[in-house]
Amino acid sequence: MAVDELAKPPGVWCQHCQRSRGCAIYDSRPTGCREFYCEWMLSDKLGPEWKPDRAKFALMVTTSGHLAVCIDPGLPSAWRRAPYYQALSAWARELADDPGSPWPGVDVWIGRRCILVLPDGEQDLGIVAADEAVRIDCTTTDAGAVYVAEKFTVPATAPTDPADAAPERGIRWGPFARWLRKDRLRHDREVTPLRPREKSV
């Protein structure tokens, strides 16, 4: 996750991170770090195995309402271990079933590479550039819903969401557990920008 105040890009270790010890500037850390709370800190439904230093990733909800998994770049396959992969797959299905959910899946970020965990599988989108967004189309077939994601370039003149323009508003606080309920399947999906994560733990 990027930290603008520290000029830290996404997908790299913070220069102030001391392995196995934590933040070297914790008492004077910038506002972006002070105000960030991952979902493990917000949701009482996540056990100790979901704590970032144990799971090797952090869960967060973006301004677009996406559930995102921000992976330790040194352990890019951490999210595939049990019980994480099974839970992410189940959440993707439940998000798709929820008509109030803005996105039918879970975004897994490894640096700027994004893998979407969708209700019917996963799709590796590769690197998502700053001027790109992602669309997910859902088609109903006799065998069930089929989800296809694709990247596209956002025109420079396209209007931007004010919430995405301010880095300090890159996270929407609140546990994602409110999504974890089963309702009816929603087949039509709006185009929702998919943005790389914007803050650091």
Residue 44: count of CB within 10 angstroms of its CB: 8
Sign for the CA dihedral angle at 48, 74, 34, 32 comes to negative
Predicted confidence (pLDDT) per residue in 75-109, tens digit: 999 999 999 999 999 999 999 999 888 899 999 99
Q: What is the pTM of this model?
A: 0.74
Question: Cα–Cα distances in Å, from 193 out to 66, 80, 83, 88, 155?
Answer: 10, 25, 29, 20, 12
Mean pLDDT of the chain: 79
pLDDT digits (tens, 9 = 90+) for 49-67: 999 999 999 999 887 888 9
Residue type, 18: Q
Single out the residue of 143, 80, 83, 114 nearest to residue 11, CA to CA: 114
